[in-house]
Amino acid sequence: MFESLTEKLNSVFKSLSGRGRITESNISDAMRDVRKALLEADVNYNIVKQFCKDVRDAALGAEVIKSLHPGQVLIKIVNDELTKLMGPVDTRIYFVSPGPTIILLAGLQGCGKTTTAAKLGNYLVSKGKRPLMVADDLQRPAAIEQLKVLGEQTGIPVYSEEIKDAVRVARNAIKHAKDSGNDVVIVDTAGRLHIDEEMMTEVANVAKAITPHQIYLVCDSMTGQDAVNSAKEFNERLELDGVILTKLDGDARGGAALSVKAVTGKPIKFIGVGEKLDKLEEFHPDRMASRILG
Ligand code: GDP
């Protein structure tokens, strides 16, 4: 995860750690390299600019120059600023009583939404919940079948209907959950290759009809700034509660993870770190910052 970024940042800090005292111009050089590394990691340009300014200000304020271990002090500052950039985030899911708590998943096709529905289901089972998954992606023919297979693998029930009305399926599913004693409903909505009006209207209509307690956007981290831009567009239509960023295990760059919160104002709540159904983790900005810095 983020190997390329980690390697580049490490080499910047290594060149500083080798020195005893450093000068302001050493810091400027280091920040130029940090900036380059972040841009190459596909972090949003404006965010990189602000980030580097914040680090520089903090470094000068902390008198890194006078410190005996300037490299370490700077790493700590970068670590803190990275944490700030990705947070704060409350990963708790607030359950309503009486239930069911409704969670809606939106996202582009191929981002890992259906897999994430099952991962989230598994996560909720581990918290003692009895989730129901709803196959409400009626656009992609294989999506219903895929969710049913995932349902069998996880032992989580799946609600589906052979009709083309996503709003009705979602409404019926909630009623079914109430009748069956499911306390959480995870709704897997339709994805498309690109955001289009029809897709946005459908998912917005589903959201309006069932008023979810949580709306998560599932994004593929490998798509970098495209993921961030789609998050921005979805957020304008859906009042997202957060983002679930998938495929971090295959993302060497990290641009999406570092940009989403600052661009959309919505935090990453969970990350997908593998294809297997237990590969979903709560997102902790401080731990992620440490991982990035190796
Ligand atoms: P959907 O079209 O958004 O429903 O996407 P799918 O759930 O079908 O996932 C698309 C592909 O991404 C599948 O091959 C998944 O196994 C894979 N995938 C999903 N999440 C992750 C993840 O966190 N890591 C990796 N490596 N693959 C993932």
Average pLDDT taken over every residue of the chain:
93
Q: Which pLDDT score, from 0 to 100, does residue 60 have? A: 82
Ligand 1 geometric centre to CA of 114 (Å)? 7
- pLDDT tens per residue across span 222-271: 999 999 999 999 999 999 999 999 999 999 999 999 999 999 999 999 99
CB 186 within 8 A of CB 131: yes
Q: Please write the tens of the pLDDT for every residue from 160-182.
A: 999 999 999 999 999 999 999 99
Model confidence pLDDT, tens digit, residues 14-58: 887 766 677 888 888 989 999 999 999 999 999 999 999 999 888
Calculate how far, in angstroms, residue 48's C-alpha sits from the geometric centre of ligand 1.
29
pTM: 0.95
> Which positions make up the binding site for GTP?
107-114, 188-192, 246-249
Order across the sheet with 280-282: list the strands.
158-159, 131-136, 184-189, 101-107, 214-220, 242-246, 268-272, 280-282
Task: Specify the ligand 1 atom closest to the Cα of 110.
Answer: 2
Query: Of ligand 1's atoms, which has the minimum distance to the CA of residue 250?
Result: 26
What ipTM was assigned to the predicted interfaces of this complex?
0.99
By most ligand atoms within 8 Å of CB, the mutation choice from 2, 111, 115, 283 for ligand 1 is: 115
